[in-house]
Amino acid sequence: MAASDDGAPVGRRVVLGLLGLGAIGVIAGSRIQTELSRLLAPVQLRDPTGLSALIPLGDTWRYYSVSGTVARRGTRFYTLKVSGLVENTATYSYADLQALPQTSFTDTFHCVTGWQVPDVPWSGVRVADLLERAAPTDAAVGVRYHSFDGVYSVNMTLEQARADDAIVVLTMYGKPVTHDHGGPVRIYAGSMYGYKGTKWLSEIEVTPDNRPGYWEDRGYPLNGIIDE
């Protein structure tokens, strides 16, 4: 299962193959489906296509990366920039972020393609707190999250970024965010679809607009609020 190590995207044939396995899972019942997701967990499905949502794996994580391999970054070398239309540009180390007030809550993760993971314990620093320290100027409209994968970025409106459940995540399940989940630091916004949650976060840029991000250029809605 080399795909997990070299970070190669899951190919169409693999997905179609897994769909076949999934169909067997459905026919044979949920026990096999559970076994199947357990079996596939170490494959760490990298799925830029969203096709893996069609595989009936149950409520398991699908590991997404639109770029190939993302270089690992240890917490000691991590920095988060807060930049753009602000009075106070800042650079936070991981320890700086740990020293700020932490917000914790448990919430269901929703990918817009249909899969979800219930009851995920999240904790980290509210984006609102970082914005308050940065002091956005009057021209500020949105917030652009950039990834050190060099490819991914996405906006939220300033108002969405200030929501109580929009956080710079330091821990998931009570443990540091793993590399595959976008560690050392990713974004999570409880009321929004997963694609608003930039993994491998490098910069929060306050912007004069709310322009489309990576997936929104490819058809996902700019307003990523989950409508249930």
Ligand X SMILES: Nc1nc2c(c(=O)[nH]1)N[C@H]1C(S)=C(S)[C@@H](COP(=O)(O)O)O[C@H]1N2
> Residue numbers of the site for ligand X (CB under 6 A)?
61-66, 111, 147, 149, 152, 181-182, 194-195, 197-200, 215
Residues in region 63-92 near Mo ion by CB under 5 A: none
Give pairs for 52-56: CB < 8 Å, separation 24+.
52/10, 52/15, 52/18, 52/115, 53/111, 53/113, 53/114, 53/115, 54/15, 54/19, 54/22, 55/15, 55/18, 55/19, 55/21, 55/22, 56/22, 56/23, 56/25, 56/26
Here's the x/- map for Mo ion, 192-211, by CB under 5 A: it reads as --xx----------------
CB nearer Mo ion, residue 124 or residue 194: 194
| Beta carbon of residue 138, minimum distance to ligand X (angstroms, whole number) | 30
Cα 173 from Cα 185, distance rounded (Å)? 14
When CB distances are held under 5 to 8 angstroms depending on the partner's kind, the choice from Mo ion, ligand X, none that residue 62 binds is ligand X
| Beta carbon of residue 180, minimum distance to ligand X (angstroms, whole number) | 7
Applying CB under 5 A, which part among 135-143, 145-153, 164-172, 191-199 lies near Mo ion?
A: 191-199
| Beta carbon of residue 152, minimum distance to Mo ion (angstroms, whole number) | 11
Phi, psi of 203 (to 5 degrees): -155, 140
